[in-house]
Structure 1
Amino acid sequence: MRYQNFSLQGQPRDELISLEQIFIECRIHASSRVGLIGFKYFESNHLKNYQNKTDIPAYIADELYEVVDRVNVVNYTAAMTHPTEGLRMVIRSAKEIAFYEYVSNKTSNAVINILKELTPGINELEASRNACYDASPISMFPIVNFGEEHVKLGLRSPDHRTLQDGDMITVCYGLRGSLVARSGFAATGPSALPDEYGDVVEHFYKPYYQALVAWYETLRVGNLYGDSHEKVYSIIGDKDRFGLFLNVGHLISSDEWPNSPVYAGSEIPMLSGHYLQCDIIACSDYPFKQAILEDGLILADDSLRTALQREYPDVFARIQKRRRFMIDTLGINVHEDVLPLSNGQAVMHPYMLDLNTLFSIKE
């Protein structure tokens, strides 16, 4: 049904009928029970009467309350984005995995292309062109930031700021279905790092990578997400030193962060079909430093993996190649349930102008 107030400002309203009338024509009446699906649902510790609170625009809800008693209107968004029950939160087919792997290929290659062409003197906009972006729909605007002033803002569009050897940088690109990000020092080696940071690789980036590896090694269908949180915090939980403030991982879908089951004490189980984003943000001041390594993966049990291998053998082969690299080169003991989608999965360079040097775990 057409409701002309959904049109852009200034477009015709010559055939406008009220939402109230539309609801009535849809046979909603005073005693109906209505579920509203918005962007987020609320829990008991968020709001009073949380079941009846909605984040949809008030002008829509107000029209609905003219027709039906508001106590009978409930927030039904969890049907879409609850970590275990939400329709959008569990992948159920090999075709979905193949789609997300395709998108992740493009996203991770864009970030890799930017990093490969970084050189002192290039500016942020020039670097962004090296990504070879196309017109695929994005889930967030691209981030290419050089220097503490720009990186510290977190979400900033690129401009003409030029890269200096030893600068902190952030590179992030997100398409609908994938996001890849890297943040650290764009330096040619330890001698290029500013003196005030001391041995920042040993005391900040190395523990960060150890925590990231521990996160990956907790992943297995049936494990609890609270265990992933605890593993990371046992290594880099010092707030003054590492400044963790967001969930250490979340679910991802066509939008970048629909929900996160990863938090202290979480008893939410890891399900086959969960599409996870490794998203551990360490950030501390005095002096400012930041580490971000974001890549996506899918948890899949034996039946889902078998279906993927049968229906999309090329996708399955690329995933297995990434797994072998993570295990054999990076030293990360990922379980067979873990299907890495990014071409740079868990790859972290201590000096981001030297892509031949990366962290790995040795026995």
Structure 2
Amino acid sequence: MGGRKAELAELELPDFGTPVSEPHLPVELYEARIERARARAEEHGFDALVVYADREHFANLAYLTGYDPRFEEALLVLAPGRQPSLLVGNEGMAYSAVSPVQLERVLYQTFSLPGQPRSSSATLRELLTDAGLRAGLSVGLVGWKYFVREETDEPDEWLELPAFIVDVLRQIGCRLRNANRLFIDPANGLRVVNEVEQLARFEFAATWSSQGVRNVIAGVQPGRTELELAPLLGMNGLPLSCHPILVAGPRTAAFIPSPSAYRLQVGDPIFCAYGVWGGNTARAGFLVEEAGQLPAGARDYVSRLVEPYFAAVAAWYETVGIGVTGGELFDVVHSRLSDPFYGVGLNPGHLIHLDEWVSSPIYAGSDIALRSGMALQMDIIPLTHSVYHMSNVEDGIALADAPLREAFAEMYPEAWARIQARRAFMERKLGIALKPEVLPFSNMPAYLPPYWLAPQFAMRIA
């Protein structure tokens, strides 16, 4: 960025539009994923995979099948030479029709909600045996979290699935190991690199989530409650990846609470985030028109916090690209925001999928090279824990090499036009030079208005 610096300026945020058509994932894509999972498991010494899911931890199962438990739990068994078996509860049987994959759909009522009927299904041991599991098989267990040496000397032996499932698998005589890295390892997990169809789906999601936050900033008013303003998010029924957040005043110290009946006042700190499967957008600032309305100890909010923060954000965007290591990206941020005042404690960016946080290749010393097909969040969070509150401009991008860009443009021209318009805005109006492979998915890409009652004033690099 040379001698350029961040500044507050009056800008016009274009209307990038919202999707007219919805991308869908074909059955062939799911079938290919299952075959890749089987092959990857075999490479790592597993004979079979058992994939667990519940309402919160569903992404690995949905990645393979398109099915996610809505109230219950579920289990997918990929045994050698057998059709995949999906064990679901009472309400999951009908809903399992959402999966286009050829599955052996099996009722296991213990996965149902408490108090519901339990008399029509076999035991778990019988069902797992019927699915092809037997004594001596090396079985990889997939839930949602892997462990590392800093936590335990034997990270592959730590299993986060419910104990009753693990107990039955051991009773059968299976040899068990944690296999989550097959799916979410930031270097080479199956869900780390996305197909063009999945990226188009993420752009669809991120467009809606970002438009919702944009609508809140455009319509926020003092005197109204958080609950009265939350409908501005325009939640349209897309499945959520995290709780919607709209919080102002004293509760912003808690960072991520849900909206309440708190009535907004001029001078309040304010934070908003809206995440759906594949897209999450967040912004933070103050409910003011100009610096004179800021808290007395934070009248220099823009120069003290927002300007250096946005300079780091711009450097992140100008650095991110195929072949860049996570460690390089980490250093770009922390060389600018190393002062403890900024309070940047979490990774300055992470992978996103159906779940809001998959894992992150961006940490100190990381030699993991970013790859074409990755979907990433620009997620630098300076929590000052002071009168300065915070700043935030979280948005999603994807990295795509030339063949992937060509496929995206050909298959999804409507989305591609939005992406190109966003790139042009970031480069020409915000002063952020992007590499060709960087595809912005947000409808307010890197647009950071610190004063929410004057949203036409936002940060740029000059």
Shorter chain as denominator, the TM-score bin is: over 0.9
Distance in 2 separating the partners of 1:174 and 1:286: 26
Structure 1 counterpart of 2:409, which letter? Q
* Residue in 2 that maps onto 1:251: 351
1:30 to 123, 132, 135: 135
* Residue in 2 that maps onto 1:83: 186
2:428 to 321, 324, 328: 328
Q: Does 1:74 align with 2:174?
A: no
* Residue in 1 that maps onto 2:237: 135
Distance in 2 separating the partners of 1:313 and 1:288: 42
Distance in 2 separating the partners of 1:4 and 1:119: 49
Determine helix, strand or coil for the equivalent of 1:235.
coil
Distance in 1 separating the partners of 2:389 and 2:127: 54
**Paired residues of 1:166 and 1:188 also in contact (CA < 8 A):** no
1:177 to 270, 278, 282: 278
Deviation at 1:159, TM superposition (A): 1.4
Greater alpha carbon shift after TM alignment, 342-351 vs 26-35:
26-35
The runs of at least 4 aligned residues of structure 1 exceeding 4 Å deviation read none
Distance in 1 separating the partners of 2:187 and 2:373: 10
* Residue in 2 that maps onto 1:222: 323
Deviation at 1:24, TM superposition (A): 2.8
Determine helix, strand or coil for the equivalent of 1:256.
coil
Deviation at 1:20, TM superposition (A): 2.2
Count of aligned positions: 357
* Residue in 1 that maps onto 2:111: 6
* Residue in 2 that maps onto 1:113: 215
Q: Deviations over 1:19-63 (max 9, x none)?
A: 222233334333111111011111233223211211111111011
The unaligned stretches of length 5 or more in structure 1 are none
Q: Deviations over 1:136-180 (max 9, x none)?
A: 211112111111x21111221111211112210011111111010
2:384 to 284, 288, 302: 284
**Paired residues of 2:279 and 2:352 also in contact (CA < 8 A):** yes
1:156 to 253, 257, 282: 257
* Residue in 1 that maps onto 2:149: 44
Structure 1 counterpart of 2:179, which letter? Y
Determine helix, strand or coil for the equivalent of 2:217.
helix
1:97 to 177, 186, 199: 199
2:442 to 332, 342, 345: 342
* Residue in 2 that maps onto 1:192: 293
Distance in 2 separating the partners of 1:264 and 1:343: 30
Q: TM-score, with normalisation over the residues of structure 1?
A: 0.95
Greater alpha carbon shift after TM alignment, 332-341 vs 15-24:
15-24
Determine helix, strand or coil for the equivalent of 2:451.
coil
Distance in 1 separating the partners of 2:261 and 2:182: 45
Q: TM-score, with normalisation over the residues of structure 2?
A: 0.75
**Paired residues of 1:28 and 1:68 also in contact (CA < 8 A):** no
Deviation at 1:353, TM superposition (A): 1.2
Q: Identity percentage over the alignment?
A: 37
Q: Deviations over 1:276-327 (max 9, x none)?
A: 0011110113435111211000000011001111222221111011001000
